[in-house]
Amino acid sequence: MSNSEKYLKVFVDTLEIRSEEAEGLKYNSIANWDSVGHMNLVAALEDAFDIMMDTDDIIDFSSFEKGKEILASNYSIEF
Amino acid sequence: MWDFSQYGSQIALINDLGEKVSYGELQQDCEKIKSVIEKRSLVFCLCENKVGSVAGYAAFLNHQIVPVLLNAHLEGGLLANLLETYKPEFLWLPKEQIEKFPSMAKVLDIRDYSLLKTDFGEGHTLYPDLALLLTTSGSTGSPKFVRQSYANIKANTESIIEYLNLDCSERAITTLPMNYTYGLSIINTHLMVGGTLLLTDKGLMQKEFWEFFREEGATSFGGVPYTYEMLDKLRFYRMKLPELRYMTQAGGKLIPELHKKFAEYAKETGKKFIVMYGQCEATARMGYLPADKALEKCGSMGIVIPGGKFHLIDADGNEITDANVTGELVYEGANVTLGYAECAEDLSKRDERRGILQTGDMAQFDEDGFYYIVGRKKRFLKIYGNRVNLDEIDRLIKGKFDNLDCASAGVDDHMYIFVTDNSKALAVKEFVVEKTKLNPSAFQTIVIDQIPKNDAGKTLYKELAKYYEG
């Protein structure tokens, strides 16, 4: 599985969405991505990519795209 | 309830858009609201952590107007049911929501809130000391409200101010909804001492929350167990928050491991971590663990608040006098609320508890008199700090799905819904999520052949535990 697929799968599984819904998705734009969902999302991403996210990155992670950008620039994950 | 004039130019409210409201201005807002609502009217107050929401609430309490505090994002159908059941004279709600009620006339705008007059027409007979109504569950829209009196709120507010040692230099940031008794107690205490409330609906997982926190120099916040799990995940311990003086925790039992971590963090950084215990039925607080005992008595909810009394009773109602014996916790104090209301007629009811509350929590005390909560008598869970009644969930599901047998059970933050029909499992979960408006990760459906029952047809919930207890 490519990193992009892995990343998408975490969103689909954690937030219980369809894969088409992931693109453009923002924090709090759906009920499932609230603070609880966010915590689950971070935990799942940390597991999937074997990383430990910093506080600033966790709270900066405000959309599907932003998360990708953070993983790419701060955790050397290539998409 | 509050005398705002004594604090004049001091700042009462600040929101995350930079709007500031002084106590003098708050007083003026209150006067405007008072001039258009008769005393002893019933108002549904749809709460958000916004300046208008707090200003309206303050006006209602100061002028003998009785609010029902509800979440502004309560599901439409549930709100409609409550409106029909209680027929309030007014609605106090965020401006952007007024289009939802086209048949109601707008009376007034104050800051980000509007007042609508309903067309129910009839008045209510309200018990003279009735101050406000709060939901017990918060999210399922149950019409069962807790009736709190002016004397209840005053007593509890004064007691909290005393044990937390609050003064006008406090700047609490909102982390809880104001229609939730714990969030409300933070508002009540700060308005009483002339402190400042930093109002935001942004959450701990958002950058804007922390920017607001730092810019305005928040001195305290409160959190339910789940809040502390999130803070732990955020590696809160590494954040630089020099203005922060103390953190409180209530709304369910924090796991001892996290209790210890936060107590240690507080000790190392010269802050205070205060675990507390309470219920909406006791206005807000009944017990607290003094900060200097946070480590030594880790896992304990502490001692009784000033002005209250705790004791334990056994199954026969006899007082337990030995340490480390489990019994039901009973509280006595001026903050024990009047009782419940389940319909509009109940609003005229008198004080049914007379200062004594059987909490439904099972507890023990140690040799030094510190209390530990060990279980619950009633069938409810706390999910992210919200009380969710399991029997009510079962009733809701059975009402929606014909001929479906179900039973819900679980532990705090994890509910398991047992059903016997695989094809309905997903729809049941979606229905419960929609009704409770809680994150779906708290709910799991488990399909079993049949719901275990005794000969009399009563569900044997204990037999379900084997499916989810590791």
What are the sequence ranges of the domains in chain A? 3-75
Mean pLDDT for chain B? 94
Give yes or no for residue B387 having a pLDDT over 90.
Answer: no
pLDDT value at position B356? Answer: 98
> Which tokens belong to B250?
């209530």
Distance from C-alpha of B191 to C-alpha of B160, rounded to nearest angstrom: 13
Q: Which of A14, A27, A39 sits opposite B230 (nearest CB)?
A: A39
Q: Which of B210, B238, B439 sits opposite A59 (nearest CB)?
A: B210
Rounded to an integer, the average pLDDT of B78-97 is 96
pLDDT digits 0-9 by tens, B223-275: 999 999 999 999 999 999 999 999 999 999 999 999 999 999 999 999 999 99
Å between A31 CA and nearest CA of chain B: 7
pLDDT value at position B289? Answer: 98
Give the range among B120-129, B314-323, B357-366 with minimum mean pLDDT.
Answer: B120-129
Share of chain B above pLDDT 70, in %: 99
Rounded to an integer, the average pLDDT of A46-65 is 96
Could you tell me which of A16, A35, A22, A19 has the C-alpha nearest to residue B429? A16
pLDDT value at position B246? Answer: 98
For the CA atoms of B149, B155, B160, B166, the dihedral, rounded to the nearest 10 degrees, stands at: 110
pLDDT value at position B152? Answer: 98
Q: Which of the four pLDDT bands, split at 50, 70 and 90, describes residue B123?
A: confident
Cβ separation of B439 and A34 shorter than 8 Å? yes
Q: Which of the four pLDDT bands, split at 50, 70 and 90, describes residue B436?
A: confident
Mean pLDDT for chain A? 95
First to last CA, chain B: 49
Q: Which of the four pLDDT bands, split at 50, 70 and 90, describes residue B159?
A: very high
Q: Which of B206, B384, B441 sits opposite A59 (nearest CB)?
A: B206
What are the sequence ranges of the domains in chain B? 150-337+350-377, 379-467
Share of chain A above pLDDT 70, in %: 100
The answer to whether the CB of B389 falls within 8 A of the CB of B417 is no
Give yes or no for residue B444 having a pLDDT over 90.
Answer: yes
Distance from C-alpha of B326 to C-alpha of B392, rounded to nearest angstrom: 27
Q: Which residues contact B331 (CB under 8 A, 6 or more apart)?
A: B282, B286, B304, B308, B309, B310, B356, B357, B359
Say if B129 is an interface residue toward chain A (CB within 8 Å).
Answer: no
The answer to whether the CB of B326 falls within 8 A of the CB of B366 is no
Give yes or no for residue B420 having a pLDDT over 70.
Answer: yes
Distance from C-alpha of B414 to C-alpha of B318, rounded to nearest angstrom: 34
Which chain B residues contact residue A37 at CB under 8 A?
Answer: 439, 441
Q: Which residue of B has its CA nearest to A63?
A: B206
Distance from C-alpha of B348 to C-alpha of A14, rounded to nearest angstrom: 47
Rounded to an integer, the average pLDDT of A16-43 is 93
Q: Which of the four pLDDT bands, split at 50, 70 and 90, describes residue B138?
A: low
pLDDT digits 0-9 by tens, B179-204: 999 999 999 999 999 999 999 999 99
Cβ separation of B439 and A37 shorter than 8 Å? yes
Say whether domain B150-337+350-377 belongs to CATH 3.40.50.1110.
Answer: no
Rounded to an integer, the average pLDDT of B29-41 is 96
Rounded to an integer, the average pLDDT of B355-378 is 95
Give the range among A32-36, B14-18, B25-29, B291-295 with minimum mean pLDDT.
Answer: A32-36
Which chain B residues in 432-451 lie under 8 Å from chain A, judged by CB atoms?
Answer: 433, 437-442
Instruction: Choose from B155-164, B394-403, B431-440 the range with maximum mean pLDDT.
Output: B155-164
Cβ separation of B239 and A58 shorter than 8 Å? no
Give yes or no for residue B10 having a pLDDT over 80.
Answer: yes
Distance from C-alpha of B80 to C-alpha of B98, rounded to nearest angstrom: 14
pLDDT value at position B139? Answer: 61
Å between B429 CA and nearest CA of chain A: 12
CATH class assigned to B379-467:
alpha beta
pLDDT value at position B434? Answer: 87
Neighbours of B106 (CB within 10 A): 13
- CATH level 3 topology of A3-75: 1.10.1200
Q: Each residue of B258-267: b (16+ CB within 10 Å) or e? A: bbbbbbebbe
pLDDT value at position B137? Answer: 65
Rounded to an integer, the average pLDDT of B381-393 is 88
Is A70 strand, coil or helix? helix
Q: Which of the four pLDDT bands, split at 50, 70 and 90, describes residue B122?
A: confident
Q: Which of the four pLDDT bands, split at 50, 70 and 90, describes residue A22?
A: very high
Give yes or no for residue A44 having a pLDDT over 80.
Answer: yes
Cβ separation of B229 and A27 shorter than 8 Å? no
Partner residues linked to B171 by β-bridges: B196
> Which tokens belong to B268?
């190392």
Is A34 strand, coil or helix? coil
Query: B196 — phi, psi (to 5°)?
Result: -115, 135
Give yes or no for residue B311 having a pLDDT over 80.
Answer: yes
Which chain B residues contact residue A11 at CB under 8 A?
Answer: none
pLDDT value at position B96? Answer: 96
pLDDT value at position A48? Answer: 96
First to last CA, chain A: 12
Could you tell me which of B76, B33, B90, B38 has the C-alpha nearest to residue B58? B33
The whole model's pTM is what?
Answer: 0.91
Å between A45 CA and nearest CA of chain B: 13
Rounded to an integer, the average pLDDT of B432-449 is 91
pLDDT value at position B295? Answer: 97
Q: Which of the four pLDDT bands, split at 50, 70 and 90, describes residue B386?
A: confident
pLDDT value at position B287? Answer: 98
Rounded to an integer, the average pLDDT of B80-100 is 96
> Which tokens belong to B85?
């059941």
Cβ separation of B209 and A59 shorter than 8 Å? yes
Å between B202 CA and nearest CA of chain A: 10
Give yes or no for residue B321 having a pLDDT over 80.
Answer: yes
pLDDT value at position B464? Answer: 92
Distance from C-alpha of B272 to C-alpha of B293, rounded to nearest angstrom: 10
